[in-house]
Structure 1
């Protein structure tokens, strides 16, 4: 009688209890009786040749879904906590190093460079999140001579509008400014520092072909510098943008931004060489061409902003000359127009190019703005002769302010209405800071910010009464000395008649504010908003205690372990390593403890049916052949190797293990291939 167990049926058997096996081998085999051995079905396995199959006891779909949901939640929380921790530490580390901006202001009289350093504001008493400060002053001249410039800044002349198709002059204007900026910024930060070139009214008045040429050549210079620059950062800004930047710069300087105070912000009056920018906060919710909205934190500001082209200091004087050309000029022997100007000192006689004098309108009045098509002459050469008359000078300045004199608008009485404004522009109201050109005039006459407009008029009249030689030597060298006799009554008329602003509504700026500061603030705000979440300008790391983040970090570690366990338990069984159960080799006398070796087999028993007949699992051996130990035979569908183990017991019971077409068996320690063993009977 031969007991055979097929390898195909190995998964259907279970390990035999050690004690039961010991007793059976110790008594039954000695007595010569083969005691039937109980077999147990393995969980989830099905006998290939058994008549009855037990239903598999695999985990239910509900358990699988719960396990999958738990893994998903653990992974989500893990990713969230890691993201929050990395973001916090990134913001924490980035706040320690300052960043920089380089901004080139290309005005009508010259080009200036401004360098700003900014970082996150750590002052708990200030809800505005950005700390920004300007860097550097204009280098002092080695000669030690005083300069009469109001602003100590790095500046090159002339303005870009005078350098059309002059590439060499353009390089000589921009490159020294970039070298100055490089000295103010650490070398390691150069390649990360954005550079901007913003042109204002002087370039705005040029024909589009000329302005595009200037911008393209300026971009060629900037992209070869050590700073970070892109083409969209080299552009002409509108007058409205310039006014908007100036308002932001002013109110940031006064700590009025980001506060919940009900106090109104200050309006800004930014007087340049070619235009005047007016910006103020209004309660009017009506949207028009001048309306702008600004939201800083939880505070919203409704603004009115506009730019008055032709109302800058230089353009205003040019308009006064154009008015005299029309009314007073006469041809000299050399063909030049001689203009006797009431706002120039005695003894002054110089050539002058009047931009507003040509071309003339059809009605004979000068064109406002001075912008031509490019084919027309850019100005008219005249000869200015000083003939000071203070009253006539004041009247000429007032006429220059009146818009109706320089447009087709109906006549406006400057004593009743703001005559510098179009009818669609809102009249300024509130408190104002007068910046740039206003400060320059005050500085020229050595007036402080608490001086009044009457003081300006008095100093201007005194200056006009001097001869040109005395007047020129009475002040440090600086450009446009001859024009300050006109500028004193002009800024007074501009505020009082042109804008209808009372003297007590205006505060003269100290000279520390420029619109470029507003550009730097807006750019820094955009960068900051991409790094941290701001709600009312509350910074992330100030709302979350670092100890809480440490706890969250520890939780994330636990979640890592849970996620790994969930994922490992969810791996399908088909991807796991297969193994064969170990068997206990019986010998006569006493049971032998089975060791956990991958090269030993469990002892499998025959199956006893209910009628006391013994069934053995079918083995893929050839029918009718004599079973020999380790004989080669052909089984079902292919060759097989039959491993026969013979016992030395008197019954001569053979235990056979058949390897079908499997080829090899896989163990946890590696791959095992069948080997031929020799019988020891």
Structure 2
């Protein structure tokens, strides 16, 4: 399984025993990542396809030659390619299909083997991965599933199984309602939503541009803007496009704007970031989390079960000494220490923390966004405990294992 993400491509090779009713994962025999992602080659589809050669060469070495003909492969692209638009993404994926078919022995999966995944599938596959690894998809664990919150580069996903207190309550109908057939018994009734544009990399860009929007006239006149989420006296230049800067043919023309950090602290930074969530937007189907999107309230429908946060949540918290389980309030406290400049002394016991803070001027911005996403976006209570992990039982979390389990159906598999 190749995860063609917005910031890089990753290969996962799994070995299953499918002699029982449920596929048994024996081992993840290979995980490897490369950068950049396929979307970085938008003007060169051939180069995009060849960028996967490192991953494919490693996969060929790991799968015994006599099993390669019956080991299916899939390439699933996520929000990075989705943002390029259909024409550019189709050219890249068509070239990937041709390259893999002509040069490698693995059969392309029969079930949409090379495609841009829908955001709903991405989230639900991640939900399957986590709950499969936790043993919560067994019949005896019904109703005890974990929720997953995944913060990628271009999008963020939420998937959970809401439980309502009375029979008269139920989830509203809509695309957010995902009926998952897995194993025996009734389908799982899941809530899912993928927020395109709310991944960390996209959000960071919007947060920086927001201050330029706010000071448009001065920014165009002076070429600079002050930003509370950046360290004091930090300087960087961004390319900014506005309707106010157009050429004679009415095409937007980017201008360079210098951002100057003020180090104003967590509160001032959060004031900028929280506006990104559009909490005041119309809510056609109530209740809404953010951006006018319906969501059953976590405080009422997901009270005591495990809640996992992944990807950038893990990458942001673990280098700064956070445990693998922490409350939303504790996450907020870490964010405040970083943004208010007190983290250097408090984290002296954490190897590499000082270097990480000094070398990454976006750390305050990134932490504030991730914290605000949980607290303000998803309306999590301060005392709510969340767990984070990069692996469960030695296997990478994320959607790839779940998608691979789904891929086992409909493909000719190797027979023992």
Q: Same fold (TM over 0.5)?
A: yes
Secondary structure of the 2:376 match is helix
Structure 2 vs 1, CA of residues 337 and 240 (structure 1 numbering), >3 Å: closer, same or farther? Answer: farther
| Residue 108 of structure 2 corresponds to residue 229 of structure 1 | yes
- 1:75: which partner in 2? none
The aligned residue for residue 360 of structure 2 is 481
Displacement of 1:386 in angstroms is: 2.0
1:422 counterpart (284, 287, 292): 292
State the Cα distance separating 1:278 from its structure 2 match.
1.2
Select 1:400's aligned residue among 243, 268, 276: 276
Q: 1:500 offset after TM fit, Å? A: 1.4
**5 Å matches for 1:7-18?**
none
Matched with 2:399 is 515
| Equivalent residue in structure 1 for 2:73, among 190, 195, 203 | 195
Cross-structure match for 1:116: 14
- Structure 1 residue 475: deviation in Å? 3.2
When residues 380 and 204 of structure 1 are mapped into structure 2, their CA distance, relative to the original with a 3 A threshold, is farther
Q: What's the offset of the Cα at 1:230?
A: 5.8
For residues 519 and 234 of structure 1, what CA distance do their matches in structure 2 show? 12
Report what 2:167 is aligned to.
none
Q: How many residues align?
A: 384
Contact 1:201–1:274 (CA<8 Å) still a contact in 2? yes
How many Å separate the matches in 2 of 1:268 and 1:493?
Answer: 17
CA radius of gyration, larger in = 1
Distance in 2 between residues matched to 1:509 and 1:297, nearest whole Å: 27
Residue of structure 1 equivalent to 2:238:
352
**Partner residue, 2:159:** 279
Unaligned 5+ runs, structure 2: 164-169, 392-396
Structure 1 residue matching 2:67: 3-state secondary structure:
helix
Is 2:135 aligned against 1:260? Answer: no
CA spacing shift, 1:296–1:208, aligned 2, 3 Å: closer
Quote the offset at 1:244 in angstroms.
1.1
Q: Alpha-carbon deviation of 1:330? A: 5.9
String of CA shifts for 1:239-293, please: whole Å, max 9, x gaps: 1111111111111011011323444311211111111111111353654221121
CA pair 293-230 structure 1, distance change in 2 beyond 3 A: closer
| TM value normalised by structure 1 | 0.51
> In the superposition, relative to structure 1, how do residues 423 and 131 fare at CA in structure 2: closer, same or farther (>3 Å)?
closer
8 Å contact from structure 1 (residues 282, 304) kept in 2: yes
1:20-59, aligned counterparts within 5 Å? Answer: none
- Which SS does the other structure have where 1:273 is aligned? coil
> Compared with structure 1, are the counterparts of its residues 336 and 186 closer, same or farther at alpha carbon in structure 2 (3 Å cutoff)?
farther
CA distance in structure 1 between the aligned counterparts of 2:223 and 2:40, rounded to whole angstroms: 23
Over 3 Å counting, the alpha-carbon distance change for 1:131 and 1:381 in structure 2 is: same
Q: Residue 499 of structure 1 is aligned with which of 359, 362, 378?
A: 378
Deviation (angstroms), 1:104: 1.4
Match of 1:177 in 2: 55
Q: Shift of the alpha carbon at 1:465? A: 4.8
1:298 to partner: Cα distance? 2.1
Deviations 1:183-224 (A, max 9, x none): 322233223221211111111122221111111222222222
Distance 1:377 1:268, change over 3 A: farther
Match of residue 157, structure 1, among 29, 35, 50: 35
Paired residue for 1:298?
184
Corresponding residue to 2:199 among 312, 325, 336:
312
Q: CA deviation at 1:166?
A: 2.1
Note the alpha carbon deviations across 1:359-381, whole angstroms, 9 max, x for none. Answer: 65x9x9xxxxxxxxxx9769765
Partner-residue secondary structure (3-state), 1:308 = strand
TM-score by length of 2: 0.80
SS at structure 2 position matched to 1:343: coil
What SS does structure 2 have at the residue aligned with 1:299?
coil
d(CA) in 2 for partners of 1:270 and 1:248? Answer: 13
1:438 is aligned, of 313, 317, 331, to 313
**Equivalent position to 2:258, from 379, 383, 403:** 383
| 1:340 maps to which of 219, 223, 226 | 226
TM-aligned CA deviation for residue 328 of structure 1:
2.7
Secondary structure of the structure 2 residue equivalent to 1:195 = coil
Q: Specify whether residues 279 and 462 from structure 1 end up closer, same or farther in structure 2 by C-alpha distance, changes over 3 A only.
A: same
CA distance in 2, matches of 1:155, 1:519: 18
Aligned to 1:133: 27
Partner of 1:244: 124
Secondary structure of 1:292's match?
strand
Cα deviation, residue 392, structure 1: 1.0
Give a deviation string over 1:143-182, Cα, whole Å, max 9, x none.
xxxxxxxxxxx22222222211224642452111112222
Cα gap change, 1:280/1:174 in structure 2, threshold over 3 Å: closer, same or farther? same
In the aligned structure 2, how far is the partner of 1:134 from the partner of 1:403?
41
In 2 relative to 1, CA 209–167 (structure 1 residues): closer, same or farther, beyond 3 Å?
closer
Alignment of 1:643-662 (within 5 A): none
The 8 Å contact of residues 42 and 84 in structure 2, kept in 1 or not, is answered as no
User: How big is the shift at 1:307?
Assistant: 0.9
- Quote how far apart the aligned CAs of 1:505 are: 4.2
Verify the 8 A CA contact 1:290 1:304 in the aligned structure 2.
yes
Paired residues of 1:336 and 1:383 also in contact (CA < 8 A): no
8 Å contact from structure 1 (residues 421, 499) kept in 2: no
